[in-house]
Structure 1
């Protein structure tokens, strides 16, 4: 017994899922080829010194970026809750712009290979880092604005609560901080949470 419907076909693979593994494979081949060229010209000891030096330098860059991020987090947490946010941007925030790209640069320097070292060193240059930060921020904003309702982008723009029957209820929670005794039913302890 056959029906007139064709068999289901597998979804078509996206271009990104095809090109990214190919790009990584090409990157690895070029890295190995460059290391072999340097070893032929300068010797194996030079390649070893380059790889160890890259690991040490990359570790130092990541450590410095981590300390700056922790210092900025501490400063943010120690700010007074009622302080005005309209004031000029603190020096710590100007210093931390592109901190993620600083860490990425350190990680690329730590990876064995000369091409990744060059890209990592480019990420350490402040104008390049700020340019990458602005480009990434604009790109994310465009994607968030294009996001369809119900997608991850929409989740950042509105909070939703779901009732047990599946209906979506939009609203806000208002906390009642009365210190007077509870109602006349004798409930004095906290009530258990509602479960669906």
Structure 2
């Protein structure tokens, strides 16, 4: 008996459908711009531009990472975790800066322009809005889910380790080790 293998992949929807085409178009555009630049300043000039932008991108990423590390260690020394709205702003600022550095490391003129846009303060402020919205939305939707599927926004824990109101019957002697 022969078996027929059916391709069970779902068709792609939305942007993921056109992502390979967009990446290919981006690469072709980057190469075309590099060829145009080579016609203006020469091959060694293009290599110099690419090396300088990669070094600048590496320096930016290193600086942003060190700043984030210092902020984290200072918060740990103080004993307080920074979880307010200012913490989200710091995290998204660091994320946009690191994205700018990564774009500078990528070879190409468009990626360099986008990387510089991530580092230039007015455009960086505009670009930070997108991850800030995403982080705020994801933290607002955080809920605790019980094994039975019920959503519990939180519980009050008494000093002896048992909950004040135990609607699920976890505070019975049959489950506790004495």
- Asked if Structure 1 and Structure 2 have the same fold, meaning a TM-score greater than 0.5 normalized by the shorter chain, the answer is yes
Identify if the C-alpha distance between structure 1 residues 13 and 131 changes in structure 2 by more than 3 Å, giving closer, same or farther: same
- In the alignment, the residues of structure 2 paired with residue 66 and residue 40 of structure 1 have an alpha-carbon distance, to the nearest angstrom, of 37
Equivalent position of 2:45 in the other structure:
46
**Structure 2 stretches lacking a partner, 5+ long:** 1-5, 162-176
Matches within 5 A, 1:137-148: 137-139=132-134, 141=136, 144=138
Partner residue of 1:168? 149
Give the greater-gyration-radius structure (CA). Answer: 1
1:117 and 1:76, CA in 2 relative to 1: closer, same or farther beyond 3 A? same
Which residue matches 2:170?
none
Question: Where do 1:1-196 residues align within 5 Å?
Answer: 11-81=10-80, 98-139=93-134, 141=136, 144=138, 157-162=142-147, 167-168=148-149, 170=152, 172=155, 174=157, 176=160
How many aligned positions are there?
Answer: 153
> In structure 1, what is the Cα distance between the partners aligned to 2:7 and 2:34?
48
CA distance change for structure 1 residues 168 and 53 in 2, over 3 Å: closer, same or farther?
A: same
Question: Whole-Å Cα distance in 2 between the matches of residues 18 and 84 of structure 1?
Answer: 39
CA contact 1:58–1:105 (8 Å) conserved in 2: yes
In structure 2, C-alpha distance between the alignment counterparts of 1:84 and 1:161, rounded to whole Å:
28
Secondary structure of the 1:29 match is helix
CA distance in 2, matches of 1:100, 1:93: 10
The structure with the greater share of residues assigned to helix is: 2
* Unaligned runs of at least 5 residues, structure 1: 1-6, 145-152, 178-190, 192-196
Aligned partners of 1:123, 1:43: CA distance in 2, in Å? 28
2:168 maps to which residue? Answer: none
How big is the shift at 1:20?
1.8
Query: C-alpha separation between the residues in 2 aligned to 1:84 and 1:62?
Result: 22
